[in-house]
Structure 1
Amino acid sequence: MKASGAAGNGEFFPQWADEAAKANVETLWSAGQVDLEAVIAADPDLIVVASTGNDSAIDNLADFQDIAPTIVVDYGGESWKDLTLQLGKATGMTQEAQETIDQFNAHVAKVKEQIKIPEGETNIVSFNGPGDNNPIGRAGGPHAELLTELGFTIEDPDPSWHNQAKLRNDFVWASYKNLTKLKADTTFILSQDNEGAQKFVKDPTLANLPSVKNGQVYGLGKSSFRIDYFSATEIVNGVLENFNA
Structure 2
Amino acid sequence: MKKLLFSIIALVLVLAACGNKSENDTDNKKEETKSYTLDSGKKIDIPKKPKRIAVVAPTYAGGIKYLGGNIVAVNEQVDSSKILKDKFKGVEKIGENDVEKVAKTKPDLIVVYSNDKNIKKYKKIAPTVAYDYGKHKYLDQQQELGKLLGKEDKVKEWKDKWKAQTEKDGKEIKDKIGEDATVSIFDEFDKKLYTYGPNWGRGGEVMYQAFGLKAPEKLTELVKKEGWAEVKQEKLADYAGDYIVSTSEGKSEPGYKKTDLWKHLPAVQNDRVIEVKAETYWYNDPYTLEFMRKDLKEKFLNLNS
Q: Please tell me whether residue 50 in structure 1 is matched to residue 107 in structure 2.
A: no
**What is aligned with 2:4?**
none
Structure 2 portions without partners, runs of 5+? 1-70
Q: Deviations over 1:54-94 (max 9, x none)?
A: xxxx1111111222111122334533322211112112222
**What is aligned with 1:55?**
none
Structure 1 portions without partners, runs of 5+? 53-57
**What is aligned with 2:211?**
150
Q: Please tell me whether residue 85 in structure 1 is matched to residue 143 in structure 2.
A: yes
**What is aligned with 1:136?**
195
Alpha-carbon spacing, 1:178–1:113, altered in 2? closer, same or farther (3 Å): closer
TM-score, length-normalised on structure 1? 0.76
CA distance in 1, matches of 2:145, 2:198: 24
Structural mapping, 1:2-151, within 5 Å = 2-7=72-77, 11=79, 13-21=81-89, 24-29=90-95, 33-51=96-114, 58-115=116-173, 116-119=175-178, 120-128=181-189, 132-139=191-198, 141-142=200-201, 143-148=203-208, 149-151=210-212
SS of 2:177's equivalent in the other structure is coil
Q: Deviations over 1:128-177 (max 9, x none)?
A: 5xx72212012554543421221311125276699xxxx622x1133433
Determine what percentage of the aligned residue pairs are the same residue: 21
Q: Is contact 1:49-1:70 (8 Å) kept?
A: yes
CA distance in 1, matches of 2:223, 2:137: 23
**What is aligned with 2:231?**
174
SS of 2:117's equivalent in the other structure is helix
CA distance in 2, matches of 1:188, 1:74: 27
Q: Please tell me whether residue 232 in structure 1 is matched to residue 289 in structure 2.
A: yes
CA distance in 2, matches of 1:117, 1:75: 34
Q: Which amino acid aligns with 1:204?
A: D
SS of 1:126's equivalent in the other structure is strand
Give the length in aligned residue pairs: 225
Q: Normalized per residue, which structure has more helix?
A: 2
Q: Is contact 1:132-1:176 (8 Å) kept?
A: no
Q: Which amino acid aligns with 1:11?
A: D
